[in-house]
Amino acid sequence: MGRRVDRFWDVDVVRGVAIVMVVFYHLIFDLDNFGGYPIESTDGFWAFFADTSAFLFVFLVGLSLSISRARAGAEEQSLFGKYLYRGLRIIAWGMLITLVFRLVEFGYVIFGILHLLGLSVILAYPLLKLRYANLVLGLAVIAAGVYMQTQDFVVGGVAGVLLTPLGVLPEGLMMPDYRPLLPWFGVVLLGLFFGNAAYLVWRKKSPLSLVPRAARPLAFLGRHTLFIYLVHQPVLIATLWALGIINLGF
């Protein structure tokens, strides 16, 4: 028997899979960068693996926004304040990670995935009701991001930092976590399109009521992804260091 919940547990399960992928990737990253193992964690398969986990997270942000709007019903007008607060809170956590990376002097996190997710929650508000327009706009944003990646836009100084969210790499900076709005905000819009045009329609016809026992661990992880994301790297690094697997001489 499963357990009745008031959430879409299938979304939580996918989000749980995504956070497991993130933790596993960062284990590989730590072994590469701090342990000296010949893994090449930022190229080839592992780069694709990292992008896949990021895609799941970012896509689910858009999907979750569509669910949130649908649940708000007549109170939809109050969502902006809710999304503004949520977005700013996520950005604040992202800024904390920015500070930590500078304190340990291991690269720069000027616009990482938390900065992206927080700002996307705010920027997506005017687009919550759109369906196929979000598909078109999302694909356009992704195309713009792909174009930016093919160009050699490298800008130094304050201008480089300010343009980082648009995919312009600041000159001479190593950024271990970088997810610019172009193209990643487009993935949010694809999730919003999928939620409005397909998922909510499907769930209305086939409502969820029970959480299968086998899915509960992943659903639990999916409900606590922000906390897990914030603590998993310190736990991983401390554990690997205590076991003598990595060296923290940055």
- What is the identity of the amino acid at 117? L
Those residues of the chain that have pLDDT short of 70 are 1-6, 74, 154, 249-250
What pLDDT does 83 receive? 96
**222 and 132 part of one domain:** no
Place of tokens 């661990």: 217
Closest of 218, 240, 204 to residue 33, by C-alpha = 240
Q: What is the pTM of this model?
A: 0.92
Range of the domain at 112: 53-209
**126 and 182 part of one domain:** yes
Q: Which residues contact 185 (CB under 8 A, 6 or more apart)?
A: 116, 119, 120, 123, 141
Token pair recorded at residue 170:
């600041």
**Residue 48 within any structural domain of the chain:** no
**Residue 63 within any structural domain of the chain:** yes
**169 and 229 part of one domain:** no
Q: Which residues contact 61 (CB under 8 A, 6 or more apart)?
A: 117, 120, 121, 124, 188, 191
**For 73-199, where are the alpha helices, taking DSSP H only?**
79-103, 113-123, 132-150, 157-162, 181-194
- As a whole number of angstroms, the distance between CA 61 and CA 115 comes to 13
**177 and 143 part of one domain:** yes
What pLDDT does 72 receive? 86
What pLDDT does 2 receive? 41
The per-residue pLDDT for range 106-134, each reduced to its tens digit, is 889 999 999 999 999 999 999 999 999 99
**16 and 94 part of one domain:** no
- As a whole number of angstroms, the distance between CA 64 and CA 225 comes to 13
What pLDDT does 239 receive? 97
**72 and 31 part of one domain:** no
**115 and 199 part of one domain:** yes
Token pair recorded at residue 31:
């072994």
SS3 content of the chain, % helix, strand, coil (to 5): 70, 5, 25
**Residue 130 within any structural domain of the chain:** yes
Long-range Cβ contact pairs of 91-95 (< 8 A, separation 24 or more)? 91/115, 91/118, 91/119, 92/118, 93/118, 93/226, 93/230, 94/118
**200 and 217 part of one domain:** no
What pLDDT does 249 receive? 65
| Residue 76: strand, helix, or coil | helix
**Residue 97 within any structural domain of the chain:** yes
Closest of 12, 46, 7, 6 to residue 29, by C-alpha = 46
**74 and 198 part of one domain:** yes
- As a whole number of angstroms, the distance between CA 188 and CA 196 comes to 12
Task: State the total domains in the chain.
Answer: 2
The distance between the two most distant Cα atoms of the chain, rounded to a whole number of Å, is 59
Q: DSSP string of 31-68?
A: HHHTT--S--TTSHHHHHHHHHHHHHHHHHHHHHHHHH
| Dihedral (CA of 161, 167, 171, 172) sign | positive
- As a whole number of angstroms, the distance between CA 170 and CA 167 comes to 9
**Residue 15 within any structural domain of the chain:** yes
**80 and 149 part of one domain:** yes
What pLDDT does 74 receive? 58
